[in-house]
Amino acid sequence: MTCNPRYEILFEPMRIGPVTAPNRFYQVPHASGMTNALPRVRAAFREAKAEGGWGVICTGACSIDPSSDDAPLPFATMWDDNDIRAHALMTEAVHRHGALAGVELWHGGASVMNRTSRLPPLSPSGIPWMATHVGFMGNLRPKTMDKADIREVLRCQAEAARKARTAGFDVVYVYAGMGYLGYEFLLPEYNHRVDEYGGSIENRVRFVREMIEVTKDAVGKDCGVALRVSLEELRGRPGRNQPSEAHELIELLAELPDLFDVKMDSSPTDCSASRFTGEGSHEPVIDFVKSLTTKPVVGVGRFTSPDTMVSQIRRGVLDFIGGARPSIADPFLPNKIREGRETEIRECIGCNICISSWHDGVPVRCTQNPTAGEEWRRGWHSERVERTDAPERILIVGGGPAGLECALTLGRRGHEVMLADSSRTFGGRLTFEKTLPGLSAWNRVVDYRLGRLSEMSNVSLYPESVLGADEIVDLAPDRVVLATGARWSNMLYSSLEIPVGRLDHPDVLTPDDIAAGRLPQGPTLVFDFDNYYMGGVLTEHLAAQGIPVSYVTPAGQASAWTIMTNELPLVHRALARRKVSVTTLHLLKSFDGETATLAHLFTGEESRMACRSVLIVGLRLPRGELFESLTQRAEALAAAGIRSVDRIGDTLAPGAIAHAVHSGHKLAQEIGAKIRWQPYRRDTPIVDAVADFDMRTAAE
Ligand code: ADP
Ligand code: SF4
């Protein structure tokens, strides 16, 4: 198949200063959670995207100096020769496929706590980031930078740029976004300086200008120099001779960098979840940039539709189509468009599990793409899988995310697959969850897999098939895989912070009751100790139907874990819009049909809340009856020639959809495989010599 002529514009080469990108697909810097400690994992993760057709592949934040130390959050470094060698693995991997490699040199300013280096964080005026969430709180306030500090950071940027060039990077960044040092100089709230670096917009831009200048002086002949800048706040501030200070900033720097990478200011808006925003959400903030510069502009917006991408270019919004999440979910997105296979794109669902990996400090995980981060350590490829030379008949029971992914991967390996589900439609939990407020895009997990499965002649789908142990024995497949999911329980929660007891009452519901079409009667108390999306989403769902809802959780915030996926502030806003009362740090003790008794998590002090129904969003337990009855029939299984019975997804261990997809993929890779990583290959840092880092102070 060939490229739709309408999309050919996406494959034009584009200059970035002295280097040329092969096309307009630009994987903007994004966290991978891999750091220089996992250089092979990282190189293979980035290489997959170059192989898949992305024209520029960038690192995530790469510190220029120990005064920018984000530990324990994962960040890369460009401090010494070992760092150069670690990065070179990635640039070589990216170059093998004709793509350019970019490095996001970064100084975190007052947003980092320098927990490892124990150097004072730096900031223009000593204004700290004092986060409200404990995960980001710190107890070291920044030092106000004097002129020597500014000179030293400029020196470090130039030095890191030279190291980046040695490592093989083609594009080198200056970073002035997301609350980090360059951004702090731009914003008057952070920057109270009365010298030439503070006051007017010209003065506030000076530090960023100098960062670009020193970078260009250091490597500008060989590398493109990119400015990454957040424009959301500045766009909201009227300028003196332009509509906003964002316009003035771009006007002041217009021809200085070789590329503008423009974005929003904070994680929840910059990397917003599909629950709350759609494709192209940055456009109203960054749409003007191209009108003030002749240099190429890249921006993001969770672009997965080639028509939207072309529209961004034709309408003069962007020159490069930036992608972070779309490139994680489908490293081969560009090639699929070029080859006329756009229906095969594995579209990002906007769930932000990838972001949660960074917050967790681990290599990136993706709901849609189970191979993300597994390229090197498990040898998985997002498009190819080792074909079996001994095809087997494999029955999968349960067509939710785990069963669908397992069927797809086993089918690609050449097995004869039967996928059965008791429901009329495949999709498992998503059949209901996709109907809940903001979750429709999540069904891409199902759409992508059903689309591919429908093209495969060796996979048969059996909807409306309730299978018990007898039916399975009668079918006599070579292997059985159970993907039968999990059920929500009505268990309560104790001050030991574990599920305990059960609340049995006719007006106590679980999410499964709502999925089955039952609605609570009268004022309803939602008790959520699952802490991810389901409690908040169901609260919205009930409130939207006119049911008065109170939300109670033992956690400190509503849907507390969604801090990890950038959704938490927006969850609270959504509940407030629905006029839901939120009670935190409370346990549900009992309910008599008219009153719920609550107790404070820490003090035990009891209080009452009037309500007619209770919805418990707490512990999920495996739907495990089928596995148990099969294991009780070992002889019948052996007589039928059934070699194995495995469980995947929620019936093995209930969790987020990302875990179910990964579990289904993993088993499909492992069944009958010649090589099995136990449990996976372990990466190690590259350390050829103990680095003799230059710790001179600027005063010397
Ligand atoms: P996961 O997230 O692990 O994929 P889901 O709960 O989304 O789990 O999906 C499980 C699917 O298994 C549901 O669609 C359910 O209808 C189906 N299922 C459960 N038990 C059986 C069974 N005995 N026979 C056929 N289908 C089943
Ligand atoms: Fe998209 Fe979710 Fe994958 Fe992140 S984890 S890339 S948001 S599908």
Residue-wise pLDDT for 481-515, tens only, equals 999 999 999 999 999 999 999 999 999 999 999 99
Q: What is the 3-state secondary structure (H, E, C) of 125-164?
A: CCCCCCCCCHHHCCCCCCEECCHHHHHHHHHHHHHHHHHH
133 CA to centre of ligand 1 in angstroms: 37
What is the distance in A from the centroid of ligand 2 to the CA of 45?
A: 15
**Is residue 435 pLDDT above 60, yes or no?**
yes
Q: Check residue 679 and give its pLDDT.
A: 83
| pLDDT for the residue 692 | 57
- Ligand 1 pocket test target in 405, 421, 651 with most atoms within 8 Å of CB: 421
Give the atom of ligand 1 at the shortest distance from the alpha carbon of 654.
3
According to the model, what pLDDT value does residue 135 have? 79
Residue located via tokens 């020769």: 81
Average of per-residue pLDDT across 445-457: 98
The verdict on the CB of residue 179 being under 6 Å from ligand 1 is no
Residue 1 C-beta-side C-alpha neighbours within 13 Å:
12
Of residues 314 and 699, which shows the higher confidence score?
314
Counting from 1 in the atom list of ligand 1, the atom nearest the Cα of 625 is 23
> In which band, very low, low, confident or very high, does the pLDDT at 674 lie, cut at 50, 70 and 90?
low
Catalytic residue from among 26, 173, 175, 180: 180
Output the pLDDT for position 695: 53
Q: Is 31 in the pocket of ligand 2 (CB under 6 A)?
A: no
Nearest CA to ligand 2 atom 5: 366
Instruction: Write the burial class of residue 504 (CB in 10 Å: 0-12 exposed, 13-18 middle, 19+ buried).
Output: exposed
Give residue 672's pLDDT band: very low, low, confident or very high (50, 70, 90). Answer: confident
Give the pairing of strands 491-493 and 499-502.
antiparallel
Going from the Cα of 508 to the center of ligand 1, the distance in angstroms, rounded, reads: 24
**Cα of 304 from ligand 1 centre, angstroms:** 29
Ligand in closest contact with the CA of 647:
1
Return the ligand 2 atom nearest residue 369 CA.
3
Give the C-alpha separation, 524 to 542, whole Å. Answer: 9
- Whether 353 is in the pocket of ligand 2, judged by its Cβ within 6 Å, is yes
- Cross-strand bridge partners of residue 461: 419
How far is the centre of ligand 2, averaged over its atoms, from the C-alpha of 330 (Å)?
A: 9
Cβ of residue 349 lying under 6 Å from some atom of ligand 2: yes
- Please give the distance, rounded to the nearest whole angstrom, from the Cα atom of residue 421 to the centre of ligand 1: 6
Write down the pLDDT at residue 673. Answer: 75
176: which strand partners? Answer: 229
CB 364 less than 6 A from any atom of ligand 2: no
Given the structure tokens 């070029």, which residue do they identify?
338
Q: What is the position in ligand 1's atom list of the atom closest to the CA of 430?
A: 7
Amino acid at 134: V
Ligand 2 centre and the CA of 448: distance in Å? Answer: 14
Cα–Cα distance, 593 to 28 (Å, whole number): 54
| Predicted pLDDT at 698 | 44
Residues of the chain above pLDDT 90, percent: 93
In percent, how much of the chain has pLDDT > 70?
98
Would you give the distance in Å from CA 686 to the centre of its chain?
A: 27
Buried b / exposed e along 249-283 (16+ C-beta atoms within 10 A): bbbbbeebbbbbbbbbbbbbbbbbbbbbbebbbbe
Report pLDDT for 484: 98
Q: Ligand 2 pocket, 368 CB below 6 A?
A: yes
Q: Can you tell me the distance from the alpha carbon of 557 to that of 136, in angstroms, rounded to the nearest whole number?
A: 15
Residue-level length of the chain: 700
pLDDT tens figures, 570-591: 999 999 999 999 999 999 999 9
- Type of residue found at 627: F
Q: What is the pLDDT of residues 242-294, one digit of tens each?
A: 999 999 999 999 999 999 999 999 888 888 999 999 888 999 999 999 999 99
From 352, 567, 665, mutation site for ligand 2 pocket: most ligand atoms within 8 A of C-beta: 352
What is the Cα–Cα distance from 40 to 686, expressed in whole angstroms? 9
- Of 164-168, 193-197, 264-268, 356-360, the poorest mean pLDDT is in 264-268
| C-beta 564 within 6 A of ligand 2 | no
Quick one: average pLDDT of 117-126?
Answer: 97
pLDDT, tens digit, 9 for 90 and up, residues 371-380: 999 999 999 9
Residue 661: pLDDT band (50, 70, 90) is very high
Classify the C-alpha dihedral 104-106-112-117 as positive or negative: positive
- Work out the number of other CB atoms within 10 angstroms of the CB of residue 431: 18
Report which of 384, 372, 430, 385 is spatially closest to residue 404, judged by C-alpha positions. 430
Give the pLDDT score at 134. 82
Q: Give the position of tokens 């020159």.
A: 319
Residue 448 falls in the annotated catalytic set: no
Tell me, what's the pLDDT at 699?
A: 44
Q: Which of 36, 78, 148 is nearest to 699 (CA)?
A: 148
Nearest ligand to the C-alpha atom of residue 407: 1
Ligand 1 mean position to 407 CA, how many Å?
A: 13
Ligand nearest to the CA of 427: 1
Amino acid identity at 65:
D
Atom of ligand 2 nearest to the CA of 349: 8
List the Cα angle 439/443/448 in 5-degree steps.
150
660 in contact with ligand 1, CB cutoff 6 A: yes
Residue 32 pLDDT > 70, yes or no? yes
Ligand 1 mean position, distance from CA 484 (Å): 3
Say which residue the tokens 């080792």 belong to: 386
- C-beta 563 within 6 A of ligand 1: no
Q: How many other β-carbons are positioned within 10 Å of the β-carbon of residue 444?
A: 24
**Once rounded to an integer, what is the mean pLDDT over residues 527-544?**
98
Q: Look at ligand 2, atom 1, and give the residue with the nearest C-alpha.
A: 348
Question: Does 664 contact ligand 1 (Cβ within 6 A)?
Answer: no
Per-residue pLDDT tens over the stretch 332-363? 999 999 999 999 999 999 999 999 999 999 99
Which two structure tokens, joined as six digits, stand for 142?
A: 């920044």
**DSSP per-residue letters across 64-101:** SSTTS--TTS--EE-SSHHHHHHHHHHHHHHHTTT-EE
Instruction: Decide whether any atom of ligand 2 lies within 6 Å of the 367 Cβ.
Output: yes
- pLDDT tens-digit profile of 122-151? 999 999 999 888 878 888 999 999 999 999
Whether 349 contacts 561, CB under 8 Å: no
Q: For residue 16, give both structure tokens.
A: 């970035």
Residue 700: pLDDT band (50, 70, 90) is very low
Distance CA 169, CA 517 (A): 56
As a whole number, the mean pLDDT across the chain is: 96
Ligand 2 nearest atom to the CA of residue 364, by list position:
5
